[in-house]
């Protein structure tokens, strides 16, 4: 009997799971289901549009599909086009690789004002995610504040200050490129509630600020000597030392024409978003560290700004019937196991941390678990899925269809743009309909 596995989600964790299962079970049948027509999840919609080399990991995912044993079902929403219970009936194992695409609330007054956005929405918008095509954020403001000291905060701050020339080599959504170019933005503040030594961003991402056409980084207050390395273990200490050195080196950078300043401000915790209907500022409390605890010093300050972006981490979606760990923002699981025949991998399993390659280990662990757990197999798999989708007239997108979308996007890229993304599902499906008409 051949093992049949459905993987829900086509981002890196889904593809690495498929890759590991292929080598562990040479005869298995794997189906990857994806809500959108396009595959690759975070690689397409999370990785920054100016980090094109990172996106080349999809070449490995192509190989997984070309094995012939992995089929792609795009434009299929689990919970809507097919239920989770049906999937579990159809397949020996169901693997949830749904990532962590939701914003976490920051939990301060004024969070619902116009002009405060989460990083999932904002990054989704500039990366052409169809869910955020109608976000239309107003970035024509003089000052924006990005809350958080992770790599996502750095991505957002950097993208906001890119020059037209730098934007030209990206696959950023057209609307976002226009808005960034036209904006009167003068300053982006990157706000950390702890010190520079505790920042989670990595050094190559920080150093990149020194190489921008018009973005010029600096540190508010220039009090880096107060940033203690105390309590850090070896690896974080090395990263912190490098980051401190880089932040110090920013003081030597020369002014540029049409400067957009990126100001790193540490030891400031957001207290309240200010303004009427729209954001006009952010009230922050000055903080200090007591051991690893962040405590307020009693000093507050109002920073004026027209845009606040929260880059404070993500959480997984809640799925009806699947236990959720609200504290950690991920699916409740025991080292990936959720229930018999039901597993989680990637950010859905671990929470939103690590880089793309971290997902490989989850794939390997999953293959071992399936080897232990799958005592009986022989559920109908793909045939049963297709029968259900056909009965419901679901227009699923195959991997071959995706290649047509991919080719059309690449062909539409002008100049140095590697591609121009479709930002509407209807437009993608219309392209596929036209292609089908031409071949019949």
Residues near ligand NAP (CB under 6 A) are: 106, 147-153, 155, 192-194, 198, 200, 205, 270, 311-314, 352-355
Which residues have a Cβ under 8 Å from the Cβ of 321 and sit 6 or more positions away?
84, 85
Q: Where are the alpha helices (DSSP H) in 267-396?
A: 347-350, 359-373, 382-391
Smallest distance from the beta carbon of 183 to ligand NAP, in angstroms? 22
**CB of 137 or CB of 150, closer to ligand NAP:** 150
Smallest distance from the beta carbon of 204 to ligand NAP, in angstroms? 8
**CB of 88 or CB of 194, closer to ligand NAP:** 194
- Whether residue 269 contacts residue 193, with contact meaning beta carbons closer than 8 Å, is answered with yes
Q: What is the DSSP letter of 197?
A: G
- Whether residue 159 contacts residue 169, with contact meaning beta carbons closer than 8 Å, is answered with no
**CB of 209 or CB of 399, closer to ligand NAP:** 209
Smallest distance from the beta carbon of 338 to ligand NAP, in angstroms? 22
293, 310, 303: which is closest to 265 by C-alpha? 303
**CB of 18 or CB of 153, closer to ligand NAP:** 153
Smallest distance from the beta carbon of 262 to ligand NAP, in angstroms? 16
**CB of 133 or CB of 284, closer to ligand NAP:** 284
Smallest distance from the beta carbon of 301 to ligand NAP, in angstroms? 15
The sign one gets for the Cα dihedral 61, 62, 65, 71 is: positive
Count of CB atoms within 10 A of residue 165's CB? 10
**CB of 56 or CB of 254, closer to ligand NAP:** 56
Smallest distance from the beta carbon of 159 to ligand NAP, in angstroms? 11
Q: State the number of CA atoms in the 13 A half-sphere of 244 facing the CB.
A: 17
CA dihedral 107, 113, 114, 119 (to 10 degrees): 0
């Amino acid at each position: 009997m051949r093992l049949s596995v459905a993987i829900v989600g086509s981002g890196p964790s889904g593809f690495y799971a498929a890759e590991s299962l292929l080598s562990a079970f040479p005869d298995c049948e794997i189906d990857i289901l994806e809500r959108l027509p396009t595959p690759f999840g975070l690689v397409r919609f999370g990785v920054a549009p100016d980090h094109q080399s990172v996106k080349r990991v999809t070449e490995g995912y192509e190989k997984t599909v070309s094995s012939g044993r992995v089929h792609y079902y795009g434009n299929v929403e689990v919970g809507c086009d097919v239920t989770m219970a049906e999937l579990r009936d159809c397949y020996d194992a169901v693997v949830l690789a749904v990532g962590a695409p939701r914003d976490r609330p920051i939990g301060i007054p004024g969070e619902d004002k116009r002009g405060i956005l989460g990083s999932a929405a904002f990054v989704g918008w500039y990366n052409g995610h169809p869910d955020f095509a109608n976000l239309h954020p107003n970035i024509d403001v003089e000052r924006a504040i990005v809350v958080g000291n992770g790599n996502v905060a750095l991505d957002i701050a950097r993208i906001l200050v890119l020059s037209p020339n730098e934007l030209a080599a990206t696959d950023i959504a057209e609307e976002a490129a226009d808005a960034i170019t036209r904006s009167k933005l003068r300053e982006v503040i990157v706000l950390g509630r702890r010190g520079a030594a505790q920042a989670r961003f990595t050094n190559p991402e920080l150093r990149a600020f020194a190489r921008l056409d018009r973005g010029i980084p600096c540190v508010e207050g220039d009090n880096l000597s107060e940033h203690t390395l105390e309590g850090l273990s070896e690896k974080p200490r090395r990263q912190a030392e490098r980051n401190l050195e880089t932040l110090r080196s920013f003081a030597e950078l020369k002014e540029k024409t049409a400067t957009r300043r990126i100001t790193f401000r540490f030891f400031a915790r957001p207290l309240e978003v200010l303004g009427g209907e729209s954001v006009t500022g952010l009230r922050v409390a000055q903080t200090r560290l007591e051991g690893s605890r962040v405590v307020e010093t009693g000093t507050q300050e109002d920073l004026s700004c027209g845009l606040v972006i929260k880059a404070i981490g993500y959480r997984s979606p809640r799925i009806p019937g699947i236990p959720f760990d609200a504290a950690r923002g991920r699916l409740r699981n025991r080292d990936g196991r959720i229930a018999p025949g039901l597993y989680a991998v990637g950010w859905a399993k671990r929470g939103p941390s690590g880089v793309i390659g971290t997902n490989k280990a989850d794939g390997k662990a999953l293959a071992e678990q399936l080897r232990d757990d799958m005592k009986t197999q022989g559920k109908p798999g793909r045939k049963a899925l297709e029968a259900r989708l056909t009965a419901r007239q679901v227009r699923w997108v195959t991997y071959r269809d995706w290649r047509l979308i991919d080719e059309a996007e690449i062909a539409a890229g002008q100049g140095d743009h590697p591609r121009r993304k479709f930002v509407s599902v209807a437009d993608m499906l219309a392209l596929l309909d036209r292609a089908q008409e031409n071949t019949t």
